[in-house]
Amino acid sequence: MADAGPAVDDIDLSSIEFWAKPWAERDAAFATLRRERPVAFFEELEVPPFPRGPGYYAVTRYADVLTASKTPEVFSSAAGAVSILDMPAEMNEYFGSMISMDDPRHARLRRIVSGTFTPKMLNRVLDQVAATAAEVVERVRGAGVIDFVAEVSSPFPLIVVCDLMGIPESERQMVLAQSNIILSGGDPEFIPEGTDPVTAFLGAGSQLVELMNGLAAERRERPTDDLTSALVNTAVDGEQLSGDELASFFILLSVAGHETTRNGISHGVRLLGEHPDQRAIWQDDPSVTTTAVDEVVRMASPVVWMRRTLTRDAELSGVQLHEGDKVLLFYGSANRDDAVFTDPDRFDVRRDPNPHVGFGGPGPHFCLGAHLARREIALLVGELFRQMPDFQLAGPPEQLRSNFINGIKHLPVDVGS
């Protein structure tokens, strides 16, 4: 049970061992933090070749995550939203694009991108997403026990992002491998042997950029109906993305749009396997899908945290913070805060209201792909119910050892034979 947590002084969110602990233990530690030290300071790990940073505050209560998300002028993303250590500014933007910017630069990029991420573009993609979901599930039908992550939840959103951008099929495996490295948090399974994580990280970024630069050049010459063509050929309010901005946006999409959704789906299947009563409710009544999908995202909280940096002194839960302090907004913890969610550890596919912050808090950085991600999860689970209604978990999930992505590396599922 989440409430029988460890002593607050024994919790170290910076230790690699913490992120290797089973989910229930991690949740119990966050329950202790929310109760006893909701804005807790931790030392940073040293990540060579960078100098050791000054440490960060872990923000674990829902109300504080909301406050920080809603006040970007105090809780800034510009020093980096996806990394605890301060990376050089160019590297930040290279890997982070708009997610690591404040307005007005953020607003400009988001405006250009939203101008192309239009309902028309999404509708075209959503038709294709439905077909892809059916195909991916069809491919494993009758295959007995499979690694669901490798066979279904990983390829599916990858194909969706690649289709969205117009990446050819031959490049998908490369995109998968490189985005795995960028989001691995150094998990040795994804870093090529004999390479240090920072070198692997930079190499992965430059391979994605190279791919995108090539594709952008092609689409300038011969536009198609994909997002890349729209991004390189359409000016919004007279503005267009530069080549570098496009490449960084693609890195953002290929990691933000793929790894997150993939883990949402894996956790969804795990939760359905572990909670037959909730599965029966959803499986018997497709109208439950809307609330069920948001409950999966709340329980899974695939993004563990995003970072903000204070532009001036401020207070959260009675803790005085100072200009320059780093804070991490722990979404999974906020999503289990019993000040907001009744019986928060319970998976309840009919939970309503469910104001979770799995896609970020309300504010300028709220997930650009939330609509697409919800549809992907709904369509994939719908196909599972339709094509293999008796699927069962066939072994324990293997956790990704990362403090940033709440990931499942492998998930044995019996899809029937």
Q: Which is nearer to ligand HEM, 243 or 364 (CB)?
A: 364
Q: Which of 132, 260, 266, 278 binds ligand HEM (CB under 6 A)?
A: 260
Using a CB cutoff of 8 Å and minimum separation of 24, what contacts does 135-143 make?
136/380, 136/383, 137/380, 137/383, 137/384, 137/387, 137/388, 138/387, 140/415, 141/387, 141/388, 141/415, 141/416, 142/415, 142/416, 142/417, 143/415, 143/417
Angle at CA 52, nearest 5°, toward 47 and 54? 135
Q: Which is nearer to ligand HEM, 129 or 140 (CB)?
A: 129
Give the interface size with ligand HEM as a residue count (CB under 6 A). Answer: 28
Q: Considering the complex, what minimum distance in angstroms separates the CB of residue 108 from ligand HEM? A: 11
Q: Which is nearer to ligand HEM, 364 or 416 (CB)?
A: 364
397 binds ligand HEM (CB under 6 A): no
372 binds ligand HEM (CB under 6 A): yes
373 binds ligand HEM (CB under 6 A): yes
Q: Considering the complex, what minimum distance in angstroms separates the CB of residue 194 from ligand HEM? A: 33
* Site for ligand HEM, residues 299 to 338, rule: CB under 6 A: 302-303, 306, 331
241 binds ligand HEM (CB under 6 A): no
Judged by CB under 6 A, the stretch of 165-173, 232-240, 280-288, 357-365 that binds ligand HEM is: 357-365
The sheet with strand 39-42 has its strands ordered as: 39-42, 56-59, 326-330, 305-310, 75-76
Q: Which of 230, 241, 297, 415 binds ligand HEM (CB under 6 A)?
A: 297
Taking a C-beta distance cutoff of 8 angstroms, is the pair 357, 288 a contact? no
Q: Which of 38, 80, 186, 264 binds ligand HEM (CB under 6 A)?
A: 264
Q: Which of 270, 365, 375, 401 binds ligand HEM (CB under 6 A)?
A: 365
Q: Which of 31, 99, 165, 230 binds ligand HEM (CB under 6 A)?
A: 99
152 binds ligand HEM (CB under 6 A): no
230 binds ligand HEM (CB under 6 A): no
- Here the tokens at position 342 are 């009744």
Bridge-based pairing of strands 56-59 and 398-399 is: unpaired
407 binds ligand HEM (CB under 6 A): no
Q: Considering the complex, what minimum distance in angstroms separates the CB of residue 381 from ligand HEM? A: 13
Q: Which is nearer to ligand HEM, 2 or 255 (CB)?
A: 255
Judged by CB under 6 A, the stretch of 18-26, 53-61, 232-240, 365-373 that binds ligand HEM is: 365-373
Q: Which is nearer to ligand HEM, 53 or 364 (CB)?
A: 364
253 binds ligand HEM (CB under 6 A): yes
39 binds ligand HEM (CB under 6 A): no
Taking a C-beta distance cutoff of 8 angstroms, is the pair 408, 267 a contact? yes
205 binds ligand HEM (CB under 6 A): no
Q: Which of 58, 367, 379, 415 binds ligand HEM (CB under 6 A)?
A: 367
Q: Which is nearer to ligand HEM, 125 or 200 (CB)?
A: 125
Angle at CA 190, nearest 5°, toward 184 and 191? 100
251 binds ligand HEM (CB under 6 A): no
Q: CA 231, 366, 363, 18 torsion: positive or negative? A: negative
Q: Which of 26, 34, 61, 110 binds ligand HEM (CB under 6 A)?
A: 110
Taking a C-beta distance cutoff of 8 angstroms, is the pair 328, 57 a contact? yes
72 binds ligand HEM (CB under 6 A): no
77 binds ligand HEM (CB under 6 A): yes
212 binds ligand HEM (CB under 6 A): no
Q: Where does this chain bind ligand HEM (CB under 6 A)?
A: 77, 81, 98-99, 110, 161, 252-253, 256-257, 260-261, 264, 297, 302-303, 306, 331, 358-360, 364-365, 367-369, 372-373
